Amino acid sequence: MSAHRLPAPWGTRLDRAARVPFSFDGRDFEGFAGDTLASALLANGVRLTGRSFKYHRPRGVFAAGVEETSTLVDVGEGAYRSPNENAATLELVPGLTASSVNRWPSLRFDFGAINARLAAVLPAGFYYKTFKWPDWHWYEPSIRRMAGLGRVANASDPDRYEEIAVEVDVLVVGAGLAGLCAARAAAEAGARVRVLAAGPQPGGALAYRDPQRARELAASAERAGARIATRTLAFGVYDHGLVCAREKLVEQDGAQRPRLRERLWKIRARAVIAATGAFERPMVFPDNDRPGVMLAGAVEEYARAFGVACGRRVVVAANCDSAYDTARSLREAGMEVVAVVDRRREAERGRDPGPGTRVIAGAGLSAVFGRNGVSGCSVRQDAAPTGRAERLDCDLIASAGGFAPAVHLHSHAGGRLRWLDAEAMFVPDGPAGVVVSVGACAGVFDATAAAEHAELAGRALARGERLPPWPAPGIGRSLAHTALSGARGKQFVDLQNDVDLGDVALAARENYRSVEHLKRYTTTGMGTDQGKTSNVNALVALGEFSGREPAAVGTTTFRPPFVPVTLGTFVGRRTGALYRPLKRLPAEAWHVERGALFEQFGNWWRPAAYPQPGEDLHAAAQREAAAVRRGAGLMDGSPLGKLDVFGPDAAAFLDLMYVGTVSTLKAGQARYGVVLNEHGVVMDDGIVARLADNRFWVNTTSAGVERTAAAFEEWLQCEYPQLRLCITPVTSHYGNVTVAGPRAWAWLASIGFDAALAPKAMRHMTLREATWEGTPLKVMRASFCGELSYEINLPVDRTRALLDRLWARAAEFEAVPYGIEALEILRTEKGYLHVGTDTDGTTLPGDIGMARGVERKAANFVGRRSLLRPAALDPNRFVLVALDSADGRTLLPVGAQIAPEPPPTRTQGHVTSSYFSPTLGRPVALAMLERGGSRVGERIKVHHLGRVIEAVVTRAPFVDPEGRRIDGEE
Amino acid sequence: MLRIRCIHCGPRDENEFVCGGTSHLTRPPLGASDGEWAEYLFFRDNPKGLHLERWRHAQGCGAWFNLARHTVTHEILAVYPITERPPAIVERTPPSAEGSR
């Protein structure tokens, strides 16, 4: 194997005293601290590191940074596994366990490699053309198995993530020469400066080319006050100066324990300096994807930073001036540089690749030998497509096709690009909003010019002064076209997506002229690398095949994220119990002690029922409902929505908000009301009680209180600002204990409730303010179950005391606690609707029996005009009805459709609520039914999963239709 | 994520706010025709350029206010109380010619 370690001082990042064991595809290896997985694999002579996406071709390490196309690995085990990690940026840590992707059964013997033989029938767009007959879904499962790269963990990620927001004056993205110069100047000018370095140390390329200077520069920037964050990669620029960055805190080292893994930085900056460098552009030639073909700059970086010589005999395939510097660098590292093959006819004079290196100008590579690793190449003149090729022996091909500035952040900020013909690159066309590019990402490659420009820009942004003029870009000349005319074979443009020149040519032939369409048709520029190395070559090729200049073809839009970011980073701590925190009852412990079975209802964590030993939820709810009808029950109604509406115009305002009239209530009276939105649709319902002339106690549904309060506020602030009132949500301020049943009052009286609250003294639908043992109460007589019912609102911290006192006397009144399930049974027996269960986004008040309420009210109210629309007056609307199953035994399934014929057919409605009634000993149901009001007595058919259940339309309430039970036992 | 200057609380991140859509709409009276009512209820301009809209600082002071935003650049030209007409600077900025339904 030809790749090997170089002695110090090669390997500026390495700590050779610290040996780091790791494994790759089940084999154990050793690297040094400071290695990346890619550098350690290279140092260990591992050439074959992955299989390509489509053709399963053998691939090796190609690059030394975020632009790596080929060496993607799955890292970690089990729930900790992280797919498609980039080996070239993955820091080597002891115990790291990585496996290659997209191969089966193994990397060397890959079954999917048969695709490479089928390449002729797998051109761009072959999915669209081939798998449409008779139906894509026939092929989908097997294609999905073949496609894709890494495997995601199939368990929830145990690691933790977090988020931090900061504000700075000047944010510098990139800590290379230009970035550090800009940061130092900005900090010296008094700005709060933060610098983000993607890797473990600042310095960028300077860190391995001139480590001493890099250290000094970073230290001087810090002395000036700039803060440098390492392992923090800015992946997106968003609106109003927001930059998001990901900080890596630990790599997956195989430790099976949860750790804080990544941190999302949300940085709001007054100005952003992009100093993100440039990507080297690869040359396009046949089999330019073989392991052993690498970016020339990467070969240099592996030598200098990681002390790895990627080969012994190198051929440099080039079309630019910088290749000659690279050639000299590689020779310094002890590699034999056989030749610089320059695609340009006249390789620039004065450029010296170093002694012993041939320059073959006007030529390109026409073949690469070696399948799982380069063993040589053939070179021929571009002018002589039929001419004889010369064979060169080599084990490494360094590809140097010029540079593409990393203009991603500039593009995220909406910046435009300018094509430079001589350099063959897109550069930022001036600043983009708050983003100013400096250094290589601005197309300024000359170190002195870049440093000077960066300093001036940093100072100007810190002081809010005019920006300095853009220096002339300078990397020397490069040629847009990298490919050799007439070359045959797979010449890859996009290694990660297996897009070759033939695919681009096909797209051009089929008239895909827009580069955006080219991207989607051929998939070039997609995947984890997002075309960092393929973008320019693809658009140059498209231009060539469609007879246009690169500038006319343009480039695809770069969008965040710049690199793949784990979902965990975005989610942060908003996961599990914190995803949408539940609202908890003030006396939750009391219910736990009673054996409550908790469930989530409208984001509240509340008792569904209190099962006794041997009972399931259904049995418990049946028992509880029966107990409420027979004796008494108590329910924790604390989630009930509570609004305090106060002010001289409170009554006038509530008249506008509710279908019912509120202003005619006398103090102490309460009334049921329905809230509509402006479309006339039922949004919420509840009870409004008047406490005083200018104060109302408004109960909304438990789930709807935020929505309703927000709607009230919007109407008040935006549409009726002249009305004088305040709306205060007080739901969490008051506990609510609802005591219901024929013996409810006796039970309350037994713990000392004031006789003024007795049913004889206090009528149904009234509210009294009272005190109990020094506790102020708002006691509402309202009933959602049809029994005598007291809703006792009290300061939230007294809830438990009331529950305890009641419970101490419960046995005497055969009283039970009851949960939501029992309440649903009780209210369905009474035919009371539940907004959101029996109603949906189409339900108008007329559909739920409120037509007369609307007609009787003279004044306007929210939604009223919409109730006059033709659709609202349609006689065929669905209206709420009660249903009995025809056999008196079968429970009608909720959601089941009603229609004369089995589906597929037009529905006439559906079952909305359905329970077995313990009171009647048979099932009862509510439904929305077309023309339901005029169909009482009619037999209808309910369809459920192929079953037909006959039912009869009837009238609610099912229980106590005369309402005799409302005052209790007396 | 926009940075929005609440009229009471000053600059805050967008995720503290909710957007209530186009501002300065006039609700037709109860006697309006179905056509007028439908126009008000269902149709909104979708301009490429200046848009006057209302926002609420829902996770803050709770106030509704008006905001003039450029729908392409997200530049916020003005923030002003809910009951007020747009300030002069906004009135002078013509909506883009490309503005359309």
Distance CA A754, CA A767 (A): 14
Cβ of A718 and B63 within 8 Å? no
What is the pTM (predicted TM-score) of this model? 0.90
Cβ of A870 and B34 within 8 Å? yes
Pair A740, A825: CB distance under 8 Å: no
The helix (H) or strand (E) run that includes residue A145 is: helix A136-146
Distance CA A909, CA A3 (A): 73
B16, B18, B52, B56: best mutation site toward chain A, by most A Cβ within 10 Å?
A: B56
Q: A865 — contact with chain B (CB < 8 Å)?
A: yes
pLDDT along chain A (970 residues), means of 10: 86 96 95 97 94 88 95 91 93 93 73 69 68 72 69 89 97 98 98 97 96 97 98 97 96 84 97 97 96 97 97 95 91 95 74 88 93 94 76 97 95 93 91 95 93 97 93 74 83 93 92 90 88 92 90 88 94 92 96 97 96 97 98 97 98 96 96 96 97 98 96 97 98 98 97 97 97 97 97 98 98 97 98 96 96 90 96 96 97 97 94 98 98 95 96 96 88
Range of the domain at B80: 3-26+38-92
Cβ of B83 and A870 within 8 Å? no
Residues of B within 8 A of A866 (CB-CB) are 37, 41
From the CA of B100, how many Å to the nearest CA of chain A?
23
In order of their start, the domains of chain A are 4-116 (3.10.20.440), 159-280+403-478 (3.50.50.60), 583-639+733-827 (3.30.1360.120), 641-731 (3.30.70.1400), 875-965 (2.40.30.110)
From the CA of A860, how many Å to the nearest CA of chain B?
8
| Torsion of Cα atoms, A830 then A831 then A834 then A838, to 10° | 160
Question: What is the number of structural domains in chain B?
Answer: 1
Residues of A within 8 A of B63 (CB-CB) are 717
Three-state DSSP class for residue A279: strand
Cβ of B64 and A718 within 8 Å? yes
Cβ of B1 and A719 within 8 Å? no
Kindly write down the DSSP assignment for every residue of A404-456, as one continuous string. Answer: EE--HHHHHTT--EEEETTTTEEEE-S-BTTEEE-GGGGT---HHHHHHHHHH
Kindly write down the DSSP assignment for every residue of A81-100, as one continuous string. Answer: -EEEEETTT-B--TTEEEEE
Gyration radius of chain A over CA positions: 37
Taking each helix axis from N to C terminus, what angle separates A177-188 and A447-463, rounded to the nearest 10 degrees?
30
B98 is a domain residue: no
A434, A435, A717, A723: best mutation site toward chain B, by most B Cβ within 10 Å?
A: A717
A682-692 and A789-795: which strand pairing? unpaired
Pair A427, A407: CB distance under 8 Å: yes
Pair A208, A301: CB distance under 8 Å: yes
Instruction: Write the residue in A238, A678, A713 that is nearest to B41 by C-beta.
Output: A678
Please, where are the H alpha helices in A776-891? 799-808, 820-829, 851-856
Nearest C-alpha in B relative to A721: B83
Query: How far apart are the two ends of chain A, measured CA to CA in Å?
Result: 99
Residue A168 vs residues A193, A245, A413, A440, A569: alpha-carbon distances, Å: 6, 14, 18, 24, 21
Cβ of A268 and B3 within 8 Å? yes
B97 is a domain residue: no
Residues of A within 8 A of B2 (CB-CB) are 239-240
Q: A–B: how many Cβ contacts below 8 A?
A: 53
From the CA of A225, how many Å to the nearest CA of chain B?
26
* Strand extents, DSSP E, A239-321: 242-248, 260-274, 278-280, 293-295, 308-309, 313-318
Distance CA A888, CA A886 (A): 6
Q: B27 — contact with chain A (CB < 8 Å)?
A: yes
The helix (H) or strand (E) run that includes residue A181 is: helix A177-188
Q: B26 — contact with chain A (CB < 8 Å)?
A: no
**DSSP 8-state symbol, A715:** I
B101 is a domain residue: no
| Complex ipTM value | 0.94
pLDDT at B89 over 80: no
Distance CA A125, CA A278 (A): 31
Cβ of B74 and A860 within 8 Å? no
* A 251-310 → B contacts, CB under 8 A: 266, 268
* Strand extents, DSSP E, A583-666: 583-584, 597-601, 604-609, 632-636, 641-646
Q: What is the pLDDT of residue A350?
A: 59
B4, B33, B37: best mutation site toward chain A, by most A Cβ within 10 Å?
A: B37
Whether a cis peptide bond, with omega within 30° of 0, leads into A957 is: yes
The helix (H) or strand (E) run that includes residue A747 is: helix A744-750
Domain at B58, CATH number? 3.30.2270.10
Instruction: Write the residue in A268, A414, A865 that is nearest to B37 by C-beta.
Output: A865
Instruction: Write the residue in B1, B34, B54 that is nearest to A238 by C-beta.
Output: B1
* B 34-93 → A contacts, CB under 8 A: 34, 37-38, 41, 54, 56, 58, 62-64, 73-74, 82-83
* CA dihedral (B69, B71, B75, B77) positive or negative: negative
**DSSP 8-state symbol, A278:** E
B32 is a domain residue: no
Cβ of A242 and B3 within 8 Å? yes
Nearest C-alpha in B relative to A864: B30
Structure-block tokens of residue A301: 């970086």
Instruction: Categorize the per-residue pLDDT at B94 as very low, low, confident or very high, splitting at 50, 70 and 90.
Output: low
Q: What is the phi-psi region of residue A786: left when phi exceeds 0, alpha when psi lies from -120 to 50, beta otherwise? A: left
Best CA proximity match to A410, nearest among A250, A667, A201, A173? A173
**DSSP 8-state symbol, A872:** T
Residue with tokens 């909104």: B44
Residue A956 vs residues A506, A594, A891, A927: alpha-carbon distances, Å: 69, 33, 17, 11
What are B3-48's pLDDT values in tens digits?
999 999 999 999 999 999 999 999 999 999 999 999 999 999 999 9
Pair A745, A759: CB distance under 8 Å: yes
From the CA of B94, how many Å to the nearest CA of chain A?
22
Residue with tokens 């490429």: B48
B52 is a domain residue: yes
